[in-house]
Amino acid sequence: SAGSQEAHSEVWQGLQGLCLPRKNPLRQRGNMVAIPGGEFTMGTDEPEIRQDGEWPARRVRVNGFYMDRHEVSNEEFERFVNATGYLTEAEKFGDSFVFEGMLSEEVKSEIHQAVAAAPWWLPVKGANWKHPEGPDSNIVSRMDHPVLHVSWNDAVAFCTWAGKRLPTEAEWEYSCRGGLENRLFPWGNKLQPKGQHYANIWQGVFPSNNTAEDGYKGTAPVTAFPPNGYGLYNIVGNAWEWTSDWWAVHHSAEEAHNPKGPASGTDKVKKGGSYMCHKSYCYRYRCAARSQNTPDSSASNLGFRCAADALPDLQ
């Protein structure tokens, strides 16, 4: 699988580092990219979704750091679970939220409750990272796809084990922008330059008809689609990504240095949107866009990637 090829290439890069000159040894190792420190405009003065607190635009300075090149994959998460015996919160609770459109008729027929404001989300017994659509599903053919059904607490546990941490919202948004200023998307302002798809989102009519014109009805492999200017894949679309910040919708317009969000809160910030996002109801596959969930929440479109201040030892 692509996942195991990647593992091999990580080992190979590690070996190369010992005896052979590499093209750019400081730029990358394993699956992390060096993000240069700098200043950028966080948020926007032209918010598309005001109530999410996408505004005001403010100048933010971040120190250099490292960012995972792609969302944490099932293969990577499995390595963590195999090494630690870690049990995710969805596994402990016994259920997780799954998008109705991905469920079998059999699983659907057993569910009698839904979220009033979003009836396409169903709590599915036995849904977790190994069984993303419930007990009759598995990840065997999706080891290189993003791990799903991981809570914020699970994401922190993984990143800590890997010698990393979650990115702050500022670091995530700075990474998303890939060196461009004030653009909607990681690659610019046009959703589909030259008619090409740059992210895994929803085409068609949400939630009834997913044409999968971009090639994917659900998640895509973590390195599908072109990377942004910093070499990051699927930073918008595919799976939502947890950040370390608590959620708030009011922000100071003052310039800030390495902001870390409010000191406390009830929800954590997630960024980037997912394969379920369509402009008509979830125009959140933009770098300034944001949303939130409680730290113990999990769902079939929510994952993460890690950041680090220094490159961790290879796992």
Residue 188 bridge partners (DSSP)? 185
**Closest CB to Ca ion among residues 61, 217:** 217
Rounded Cα distance between 240 and 271, Å, is 6
Rounded Cα distance between 184 and 150, Å, is 27
Residue 190, phi then psi, degrees to nearest 5: -95, 130
Q: Which residue has the tokens 């992210």?
A: 199
Stretch that binds Ca ion, among 30-38, 109-117, 124-132, 266-274 (CB under 5 A): 266-274
Per CB under 5 A, the list member of 31, 234, 244, 301 interacting with Ca ion is 234
Q: Does 121 bind Ca ion (CB under 5 A)?
A: no
Q: Does 238 bind Ca ion (CB under 5 A)?
A: yes
**Closest CB to Ca ion among residues 93, 283:** 283
**Closest CB to Ca ion among residues 95, 102:** 102
Element (H, E) at 2: helix 2-19
179-218: contacts with Ca ion (CB under 5 A): 200, 214, 216
Q: Does 137 bind Ca ion (CB under 5 A)?
A: no
Q: Count other C-beta atoms under 10 Å from residue 215's C-beta.
A: 10
**Left (φ > 0), alpha (ψ -120 to 50) or beta: where does 112 sit?**
alpha
Q: How far is the CB of 90 from Ca ion (least distance, A)?
A: 19
Q: How far is the CB of 174 from Ca ion (least distance, A)?
A: 15
Task: Mark 54-84 as b/e (b = at least 16 C-beta within 10 Å).
Answer: bbbbbebebeebbbbbbbbbbbbbbbbbeee
Rounded Cα distance between 255 and 280, Å, is 33
**Closest CB to Ca ion among residues 58, 70:** 70
Q: How far is the CB of 240 from Ca ion (least distance, A)?
A: 7
Site string (268-297) toward Ca ion, x via CB under 5 A: ----x--x----------------------
Residues of this chain that bind Ca ion (CB under 5 A) = 200, 214, 216, 234, 238-239, 272, 275
